[in-house]
Structure 1
Amino acid sequence: MAAVDVPFSFVDRALYLPDAEALVLADLHLGRAVTSAVDAPLSATADVVSRLESLLERLDPGTVVVAGDLLHSFSSLPRGVEDAVADLERAVDDAGTALVVTPGNHDAMLEAAFDGETADEYRLDDGTVVLHGHDEPTLGAQRYVIGHDHPALSVDGRKLPCLLYGPDCYRGTDVLVLPAFTRLAPGSTVNGLSGRDFLSPLVSDPDAFYPAVRDESGDETLWFPPLGECRQLL
């Protein structure tokens, strides 16, 4: 596995940027179980909030940024979604942390469920710009952090959510693509995807992106060679 020296931590499908004291998570898709009628053996909201509370206690960030798709339904607020958003806000507020949402393509109903701070693109203190990634950014950045594509890596027949790290991959700027924070999202297996298969315009050359898989039981982030090499190894 590749050794990658990076100024951030990948933890439980989320990204912690210590220089900005910021925790970034993407694609919570609150309300997905109701909207999609999926078989959900766990409470999606309780799972998301519980895991976020654990990260808040562990990392004590000053800011939590949701990189889009806080909600799932494009056109309605399914039963329980407003309560789910309130539970999320309460968890962040109880930790003494600020919450910012950068709306994603699913967040057409965001204003009806969330009255907190929003921004299409949000700049952190370390120069990182967070956005969902369905549109190209308008702000320059030290690095971009996005969601949208729900990356996952197939390893020994197992599909694992992964972070993608592309050094200098968007107009000479680093790009980080987060997996979906909700565990109800199956993820897109990136091993065999080409640039045209990715939804985000910030990912045009996926072969140059390093995948990382998180081993929570061992408290370890496992880095793999760039996708261009991974396709021949996995």
Structure 2
Amino acid sequence: MDNMAAGHRVDLLQGEPLVLLERAVYVPAHKALLLSDVHLGKAETFQMAGIPIAQQVNEETLERLRSQCDQVQPQQIFILGDLFHSRQGLVEDVITAWSTFLSDTSAQVTLIIGNHDRAALDPVFDMDYSSDPISLGKLLLSHEPASSDLLPKNHLNICGHVHPVVHLQGAIDSLRFPCFYHEHEPQRLTLPSFGSFTGGHEVSIGTGRTAYITLEGGLMVLDSPPKED
């Protein structure tokens, strides 16, 4: 299978081509799938607070992950934080769904512990955990954006936490899209939240700041503020 054909190739760092998928990144050189901010159990957390949210958001999220694993056949999966939303949301159905994914995949799964995960790591699942950023070739993987002093020259920080989105204004209304957000100095790529029910933070686009939006028809690249119609 041509793993490059599964998504959209971008070259943000010489020698480390990336393939942008729907809300995730594949790194062919390391056979690694990267994603962040899955927030499993968020719907259940809201339900406990009396807010009616459909539970199928977890299945929708995990089906996307399974589909991408089928596409690119990763040997490694790195989750860059916030796999779970809260301890309250770790109900039996959520635990079973994630345990089933882990048992079904042949990839080695590593979770970089995010701020939401710190309160939701009981039970411990059959995967690796890291409290610190992880180096993968010239990539530095972290949950929150890494400080510039931690990033060696000619390296790229790939992180999550922010849930970047952009608004595009049409003739009638505006649409909000999750995006990959590339800051050129320091070199950083912030991943969109992988979960289907996560919210988002609008990011600014301009000199040294580029947004990539994956669409069914191709890849949209925004390196200047969108014009309003």
TM over 0.5: yes
Taking the aligned partners of 1:139 and 1:155, their CA distance within structure 2 comes to 34
Matched, 1:143 2:186: no
The structure 1 segments of at least 4 consecutive aligned residues displaced by more than 6 Å after TM superposition are none
Structure 1 unpaired stretches of 5+: 193-205
For residues 46-195 of structure 1, the aligned pairs below 5 Å read 46-73=59-86, 75-79=87-91, 80-91=93-104, 93=105, 96-115=106-125, 116-119=127-130, 120-124=132-136, 126-133=137-144, 136=147, 139-141=150-152, 142-156=155-169, 157-167=174-184, 169-170=185-186, 174-191=187-204
State the TM-score, normalizing by the size of structure 1. Answer: 0.78
Q: CA deviation at 1:137?
A: 7.7
Q: 2:208 matched to which residue of 1?
A: 208
Deviations 1:162-209 (A, max 9, x none): 000112x22xxx1010111011112112248xxxxxxxxxxxxx8522
Q: Secondary structure at the match of 1:230?
A: coil
How many residues matched? 204
Taking the aligned partners of 2:95 and 2:148, their CA distance within structure 1 comes to 29
For residue 146 of structure 1, what is the amino acid of its counterpart?
A: C
Worse-superposed segment, 152-161 or 110-119? 110-119
Identity percentage of aligned residues: 24
Deviations 1:29-58 (A, max 9, x none): 111001123544461221121111111111
Distance 1:42 1:33, change over 3 A: closer
Taking the aligned partners of 2:175 and 2:211, their CA distance within structure 1 comes to 15
Q: Secondary structure at the match of 1:19?
A: helix
**RMSD between aligned residues:** 2.5
Q: 1:15 matched to which residue of 2?
A: 25
What is the aligned counterpart of 2:225 among 216, 226, 230?
A: 230
Taking the aligned partners of 1:90 and 1:138, their CA distance within structure 2 comes to 38
Structure 2 unpaired stretches of 5+: 1-9
Taking the aligned partners of 2:63 and 2:197, their CA distance within structure 1 comes to 15
